[in-house]
Copies of this chain bind each other. A is one copy, B any other.
């Protein structure tokens, strides 16, 4: 008999909360035993989790199911507001996935955006926004990672998103990790609007940091965007309209009946539990690992998401 499950699971947890009653004592005991990520999650308290704000949560309904996106209002408030305006107008309904470039991004929007006679009206939304590539780091919550970074002075997490900051410039920004969502723009800095969005589906393209407005993160349903057929045109754009996956609808969670909402909780990134989770990934205690890395890159830290109660999914 030969080994079968030869690599350890690396899963963004999507478990049903079972009303576990972990105590501080339990957490301490787990820490003493170098807990695995799963043990950290199992020992977490209700206060270690947060419910994303329905006013900042998008449901993109695709033929294969629902993608849930949390908007990063602390980093891109103008883009978030414009995207909300577009969504309330049902702007994205019937638009399509335009581009899937292997090891880079999946991108969606109006396939006729370049043709003024056919482009969909953006209605009350702005067609061009100021750049929101970074913000002041002052007074911004920031849970710093211990291991440094190739690209930024400091990396960590802020408001549940992977982020970077630099005391020399006083700026903070979101890092382009897997699942991060950004707003496309042309060559001019002020040329994005949020009407065309992309999500990272490969190795973190950190060279995009500080060059584009990062507006949110996919918290559920990444596989619906990452496993699409790659486009065969330049940059992974689809060459035929028939290849473009249609978007059924995009809605704000707040505008969806409570019974149809995805009942998700996201692990907070500013708690001792999250610090313990990071440590469980820096030094894997799973039996399989012979040599724990002792380090971690910001884009390798999972942010657990769980489904609570009776969920639509």
**Interfacial residues, chain A to chain B (CB-CB below 8 A):** 1-12, 98, 100-105, 107, 110, 113-116, 119, 127, 133, 147-151, 177-179, 184-187, 189, 191-193, 195-196, 198, 202-212, 222-223, 226-230, 234-237, 281, 284, 287-293, 295-297, 299-300
Given contacts A102-B226, A178-B103, contact A300 B6 (CB under 8 A): no
Q: How many copies does the complex hold?
A: 2
Contact of A5 among B235, B296, B297 (CB under 8 A): B235
Residue of B nearest to A1 (CB): B116
Residue of B nearest to A128 (CB): B2
7 residue pairs of the A-B complex, CB under 8 angstroms, read A1-B113, A2-B114, A3-B191, A5-B237, A147-B150, A202-B202, A211-B291
Given contacts A211-B289, A226-B103, A230-B223, contact A2 B151 (CB under 8 A): no
Please tell me if the beta carbons of B288 and A187 are within 8 angstroms of each other in the complex: yes
Please tell me if the beta carbons of A195 and B2 are within 8 angstroms of each other in the complex: yes
Give the complex CA separation of A113 and B1 in angstroms: 6
Please tell me if the beta carbons of A150 and B296 are within 8 angstroms of each other in the complex: yes
Residue of B nearest to A286 (CB): B187
CB A206 to nearest CB in B, in angstroms, measures: 7
Contact of A185 among B6, B9, B100, B195 (CB under 8 A): B6
By a CB distance below 8 angstroms, the chain B residues around A293 are 151, 206-207, 209
Give the complex CA separation of A21 and B204 in angstroms: 35
Residue of B nearest to A281 (CB): B207
Give the complex CA separation of A105 and B184 in angstroms: 28
CB A128 to nearest CB in B, in angstroms, measures: 9
Give the complex CA separation of A101 and B237 in angstroms: 25
By a CB distance below 8 angstroms, the chain B residues around A300 are 203-207
Which 6 A-B pairs have CB atoms at the shortest separation, nearest pair first? A6-B184, A3-B186, A9-B235, A223-B230, A207-B293, A4-B114
Please tell me if the beta carbons of B227 and A113 are within 8 angstroms of each other in the complex: no
Give the complex CA separation of A291 and B189 in angstroms: 11
Contact of A104 among B1, B10, B101 (CB under 8 A): B10
CB A220 to nearest CB in B, in angstroms, measures: 11
Please tell me if the beta carbons of B186 and A6 are within 8 angstroms of each other in the complex: yes
Contact of A107 among B7, B209, B222 (CB under 8 A): B7
Contact of A204 among B127, B148, B203, B226 (CB under 8 A): B203
